[in-house]
């Protein structure tokens, strides 16, 4: 079945450091891939998405490229800020299932220190 595996946290970085959070997926079809962010005390918000191979999603300085050959969708940011401290979830949606359900990874907590 469909699944998402993302790197375990927590991740602690200094401000302006480079961020990578790894995400790999398993799907027999051609899923859409998403990164969601959860700030403290809030629900999940869509950060970026990619719907086909080689697409690059980007938002707020974050980027992720849909790599079909490595079944990956790693999240990157060149210079993190304290305000980026949150939990990040990788997710996929497989249209073949007919349900459009989102399958989530376990989440990676990022803490950015000044």
Partner 1 sequence: DADVTQTPRNRITKTGKRIMLECSQTKGHDRMYWYRQDPGLGLRLIYYSFDVKDINKGEISDGYSVSRQAQAKFSLSLESAIPNQTALYFCATSDNQAVNYGYTFGSGTRLTVV
Contact status: 55 vs partner 1 (CB under 8 A): no
Task: Specify whether the CB–CB gap between 34 and 51 falls below 8 A.
Answer: no
Tokens 């305000």 sit at which residue? Answer: 83
Among 23, 25, 27, 32, binds partner 1 (CB under 8 A): 32
Contact status: 36 vs partner 1 (CB under 8 A): yes
Distance CA 65, CA 67 (A): 6
Task: Specify whether the CB–CB gap between 47 and 36 falls below 8 A.
Answer: yes
Decide whether 17 or 24 has the Cβ nearer to partner 1: 24
Binding site for partner 1 (CB under 8 A): 31-32, 34, 36, 41-46, 49, 51, 89, 91, 93-95, 99-102, 104-107
């Amino acid at each position: 079945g469909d699944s998402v595996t993302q790197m375990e946290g927590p991740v602690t970085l200094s401000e302006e450091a480079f961020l990578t959070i790894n995400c790999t997926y398993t799907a027999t079809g051609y899923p859409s891939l998403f990164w969601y962010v959860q700030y403290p005390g809030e629900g999940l918000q869509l950060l970026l998405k990619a719907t086909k191979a080689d697409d690059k999603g980007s938002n707020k300085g974050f980027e992720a490229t849909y790599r079909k050959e490595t079944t990956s969708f790693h999240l990157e940011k060149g210079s993190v800020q304290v305000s980026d401290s949150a939990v990040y979830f990788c997710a996929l949606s497989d249209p073949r299932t007919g349900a459009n359900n989102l399958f989530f990874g376990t989440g990676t907590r990022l803490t950015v220190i000044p």
